[in-house]
Amino acid sequence: MKRSRLPVLAKIAVALVTFGWLLHKVDPQRVVVSLRNCHPAPAAAGIALLLLAAGLQAARLHALVRHWVRSGPGESVRITLASYLFNQLLPGGVGGEGYRAVRLKQISRRWSTAVGLISVERLIGFLALAVPGLWVVFLDRPRFAAAMTFRDLAPAWADRPVVLVVGATLLGVGVLALRWLPDGWSIRMVHFLRGLWSSLSSLSAATYLAVIGLSLAYHLTRIVAFDLLLAAVGQRLDMMSLVPVLTFTLIASLIPVSLGAWGIKEGAIVFGLTLYGVGAAEGLAVALLNRSALLILAAAGGLSLAMPSTKGEGATAQSPPSDPT
């Protein structure tokens, strides 16, 4: 067996083991009953909103790239849909970002531009959900402390200086590791960061505001979609409680230990929903409905890649400084 196949097989194994663990904790028959008895109208509406949220993602990407690339919104939709396909095939929920960076590099012909735009989009999108999500957790910390203690997961080490010590150690190791990088790496990195800053500083305040607004609209759409999916399986939960649930899911999905975050994403959804009293079987049913929407988007992404791109959508909008990277 080729060594290059081992990481892929390992991540497939992680996905299978995680799903197996979920089915061990949750009665599979109850999950099947929940899916079989779910109300079709709210389930269809919830899935439709999840698909609509992808359109908001495409609009957010277009708001960033239109400054650099002469392309219509169609290319942003194509890139976004294709990223859903790669998110299902690559480790964690970050495979799509890699594809989008490569595609934008092909269009703009600058790595710094591509990485800068994708980094801004990802960071703003993450903070738009994580900041309110963690704030809700802070305000409702007695609930989470009790739940973690009940599950024997209470982080007794959290109040000790070991966290700072470990963080400082990792930072020191990272700094020392720079000495073993190839010659010329630091110069190339300086050029890269210079080009990256040039790309980001050229974006207007209106562009950043548009990206923030579209990120908030994207997460709000998903919150309403999850509320409908919960109603479809006979569960009710206030929307504010769904903010930390989706925050847990987003953070867990970034862990690159299984292909497409299979099992990891579903486990995070079940864990988050059970903190608020939702049954584990119903929580897993909601997670599977969410996964079905992701698979629909991935299929649409595969079709978009099979179709030829629109002519003339690869020219740069301006002539930025040369980028040696």
Nearest-angstrom CA–CA distance, 78 and 111: 20
Amino acid at 303: L
pLDDT digits (tens, 9 = 90+) for 281-321: 999 999 999 999 999 999 999 998 887 765 444 444 444 44
Higher local confidence (pLDDT), 203 or 82: 82
Q: Is the pLDDT of residue 165 over 60?
A: no
Distance, CA of 231 to CA of 208 (rounded, Å)? 35
Question: Tens of pLDDT along 30-75?
Answer: 889 999 999 999 999 999 999 999 999 999 999 988 876 666 788 8
Query: Closest Cα partner for 294 from 123, 86, 40, 42?
Result: 86
Q: And the tokens for 247? A: 């925050």
Supply 173's token pair. 């190791």
**Which are the contacts of 101, defined by CB distance < 8 A and separation ≥ 6?**
111, 114, 115, 118
What is the per-residue pLDDT for 104?
81
Please classify residue 318 by burial: count the beta carbons closer than 10 Å to its beta carbon, then call 0-12 exposed, 13-18 middle and 19+ buried. Answer: exposed
The pLDDT value recorded for residue 42 is: 95
Q: How far apart are CA 262 and CA 269, in angstroms?
A: 12
% residues pLDDT > 70 (the chain): 72
List beta partners, residue 24. Answer: none
> What's the pLDDT band for 162 if we cut at 50, 70, 90?
very low
pLDDT digits (tens, 9 = 90+) for 245-286: 999 898 888 877 777 788 888 888 998 898 888 888 999 999
Closest by CA to 198, choosing from 319, 112, 104, is 112
The token duo for 14 is 């992680």
Q: What is the pLDDT of residue 141?
A: 73
User: Which residues does residue 69 pair with via DSSP β-bridges, in sequence order?
Assistant: 316
List pLDDT tens digits, range 85-126: 888 877 655 667 778 888 888 877 777 777 778 888 888 899
Residue 180 has pLDDT above 50, yes or no: yes
Lowest mean pLDDT among 10-14, 121-125, 161-165: 161-165
